[in-house]
Chain A
Amino acid sequence: MNSAQLEIQLIASLVAVACAIPGTFLVLRKMAMISDAISHSILPGIVVGFLITHDLNSPLLILLAALTGIITVVLVEYIQKTGLVKEDTAIGLVFPALFSIGVIMIAKNADDVHLDVDAVLLGELAFAPFDRLIIDGTDLGPKSLWIVGTILFITITLLFTFFKELKVSTFDKGLAASLGFSPAIIHYGLMSVSSVTTVGAFDAVGAILVVALMIAPAAAAYLLTKDLKKMLTLSIGFGIFSALLGYWVAHWLDASIAGSITTVLGIVFLIVYLFAPTKGIIAVLYREKQQRTEVSLLTFLLHLKNHDEISERHVKHLNEHINWQKVRSKTVLDLAQKNNMITIENNIVSLTEKGDEFTSKAIDYIITNEDAQIEDMKDDFFLFRG
C-alpha cells in the first residue's frame, strides 16, 4: 500500500464518520430525504464559491455552499407551512430548482472553471492526494484530509457537547420545548452540521452518494440496537467498514471509488435487513411462524381445560374435531410435551399442573391485557412479547 492509497482510505473513512453522525439523527427524525435535498441544492453555492475562490477546498466555498443547504431547509419548511403541499412535495420542488440553477451556472462558465457535473455528482476521491496543503514549503498532506478532518472534529465536539439536547429534542420535541431546549435551535444546528458535512464530503464522494453515506449506516444500525449511543457507534463502524472495503473493491475492479463504497453500503444494509436478530426479515418471519404455532398450542390447551371427557382428549380427536392437519397437530403436541404442559397416556392427553396454570394465565392476559403476571412467559413465548 503506498501513501496515496493510505491517504484516500483515511479521507474516505473520515468522510464516512462525519456523515454517519448527523445521518443517525436524520434517520431518527425521519428526515432522510432532507439530506438528499441538501446534497443537491448546495450545488449553486459550490459554483458561486468556486467562481469567487477558484479553489474547491476553500473554507469560504464550504460556508457558502452550506448556507445554500440551510436555505433549502428553510424554503422546504416555508412551503410546507403554507399547508398547500406536503413535506415530500416541498422537498421535490425546492432542490431540483436550486440544483438546476447550479447546473446552468456550471454550463455557462465551463470555459473558465475546472468543475464539471460528473465531478459534482460522483466526486473525485482518487485525485484527492494530488491537491496538497503546503505551508512554508512543508507538505502537510492532502487538503481534503484537513477539510474533512476539521469538519469531523467540529461534528464530534458538538455531538459530545449537545448529546443530551439532541436526544431529547429528537425523541420528544414537546418535552424539549417545555424544558427550555429550543427545538428550533437544535434543528437548525443539526441542519447546519448536515450541510457543512455534505459540502465537505461532496468533494470525496459527490452529491448523490453522500446521501448513502448519511442514511445507509444509520438505517442498518437502527435495526440492530435499542440504544442511541450504540446506534451511533454502529453507524460509524458500518461507515468506516464500507469506506475501506469499498476502496479495495474499486481497486480490484478498477472502478469508481465512490460507486464501490456506496455499493458496499447497500450490501451491508441488505445483510442487516435480512439477518438482524430481532428486526430482520428472517427473524420476523420466524417469529410469525412461532406465533401461529403458539396460538394453536393455546387453542389446544384451552380445549383440554374445557373438556374432561376422554373422547374429547384423544390424540386422534385433534385431527377430527379441532380440524387440524396431521403435521400441525404433531407440532403442537410436541411443543406442549416439550414444555411439560401435557402428558399422553394411551393416546389420551391430559393437562399437567404447569399446563393448567399456563392456560389460565394466558387466557387471563388475553382478556385483561394486564402485563404483570406474564412477564416470565415472555422469555419463552413470542406470543406475549407485544
Chain B
Amino acid sequence: MKQKTAVKIDDLTVAYNYKPVLWDIDLEIPEGVLMAIVGPNGAGKSTLIKAILGILKPIAGSVTIYGKPYEKQRQLVAYVPQKGSVDWDFPTTALDVVKMGTYGSLGWIKRPGQKEKKAALEALEKVGMLPFKNRQISQLSGGQQQRVFLARALVQNASIYFMDEPFQGVDATTEIAIINILKELRKAGKTVIVVHHDLQTVPEYFDWVTFLNVKKIATGPVKDIFNDDNLTKTYGINYKVSIQE
C-alpha cells in the first residue's frame, strides 16, 4: 500500500541576507511517520520548519501540506517552537499558554470559551501538568515548560506536528514522557517531525530520519539510512555510532 504524502517540499531555498541557509531542498514526508531532522549547528533544521510553516519566506521553491499550500491547511498543523524562543517571564499561566493552541481554530477576534478551556485542561492532563495549571510559567521547571508547550500543540488536534528541539534542557523523565506521547500520536496516524540533537537516541525514538546540512543529505526509514556513511556526510567527520538493538 502506498503511503500518502503529508508534507512535500520542492526546490526550497531559504536565505538570510542573501546567504543561503537551506539550498534546493526536495523532501517528501510520508503520513504517519515519527521523523527526526538531524544535522550540525547551523544546518538549517529550525529554518526548514519555519519555512514549511510560512514563518520565513523562502526565496525559491514550494511547500505543500497534503497537496495544498500551508495557508490553506493551517488547521492540520501544530507547531512547538524552541523553548528558548519565548519569554518565560511573560505574565501568564500554564493553562493560558495551552489555550493559545486553540486560537488558530478560533480565527481572528473570537475569544476562547468553555469548550477551549476544557480542551486545554484535557491536554494538560495528558502531559501530566494538570496540577500546575494555574502556576505562572516562570515558576515551572524546564521540563514542565516543555510539557506545557507540548500540551499547547496537542490541543490543536492537528494531523502534523512540528517540534523544534523538544528535548532541550529537559530531565530524563520528561524526555521519556514526551517521546511516549509522540509515539502515541504516531500510533493514532499523525505525522510528527522533530528537530533532534541527540544522535544516540535516534534509532530508539524515531522510525524516519532526515539528514540535513544546508542541503538534504538523505531521508528515509531509520533502519535503512541511519548509518555511518550518512552521518559522516552530514557532520563532515568520520562518524561511528553504535546502534542499539
**Contact code string B89-122 (vs A, CB < 8 Å = 1, else 0):** 0111100010010011011111110000000000
Q: Is the CB of A371 within 8 A of B143?
A: yes
How far is A199 from B211 in the complex, measured between Cα atoms in Å?
Answer: 53
How many B residues touch A, CB cutoff 8 Å? 39
Please tell me which stretch of B4-12, B21-29, B80-88 contacts chain A, meaning at least 4 of its Cβ atoms lie within 8 angstroms of it.
Answer: B80-88
Please report which residues of chain A, range 161-183, place their CB below 8 angstroms from some CB of chain B when the two chains form the complex: 161-165, 167-168, 170-175, 177-181
The interface residues of chain B lying within 8 Å CB-to-CB of A162 are 108-109
Partner of B53, one of A30, A161, A165, A177: A177
Q: Is the CB of B86 within 8 A of A177?
A: no
B68 at the interface (CB under 8 A from A): no
A118 at the interface (CB under 8 A from B): no
Please tell me which stretch of A15-23, A60-68, A223-231, A245-253 contacts chain B, meaning at least 4 of its Cβ atoms lie within 8 angstroms of it.
Answer: A223-231
With A174-B79, A174-B81, A226-B136 known as contacts, the answer to whether A179 contacts B109 (CB < 8 A) is no
B54 at the interface (CB under 8 A from A): yes
Partner of A179, one of B97, B103, B143, B173: B103
How far is A180 from B104 in the complex, measured between Cα atoms in Å?
Answer: 7
Whole-angstrom distance from the CB of A176 to the nearest CB of chain B?
Answer: 8
With A165-B108, A174-B85, A385-B139 known as contacts, the answer to whether A226 contacts B79 (CB < 8 A) is no
Chain B's closest residue to A375 (CB) is B131
Partner of B141, one of A173, A181, A225, A371: A371
With A178-B53, A178-B74, A368-B171 known as contacts, the answer to whether A171 contacts B92 (CB < 8 A) is yes
Q: Is the CB of B91 within 8 A of A231?
A: yes
How far is A232 from B185 in the complex, measured between Cα atoms in Å?
Answer: 38
Q: Is the CB of A227 within 8 A of B108?
A: no
9 pairs of A and B residues whose beta carbons are closest in the complex: A226-B136, A179-B104, A174-B81, A178-B79, A177-B55, A178-B53, A172-B86, A171-B90, A168-B100
Residues of B within 8 A of A (CB): 17, 50, 53-55, 71, 74, 77, 79, 81, 85-87, 90-93, 97, 100, 103-104, 106-112, 131, 136, 138-141, 143-144, 152, 171, 173
Residues of A within 8 A of B (CB): 28, 30, 83, 161-165, 167-168, 170-175, 177-181, 222, 225-228, 230-231, 368-371, 375, 385-386
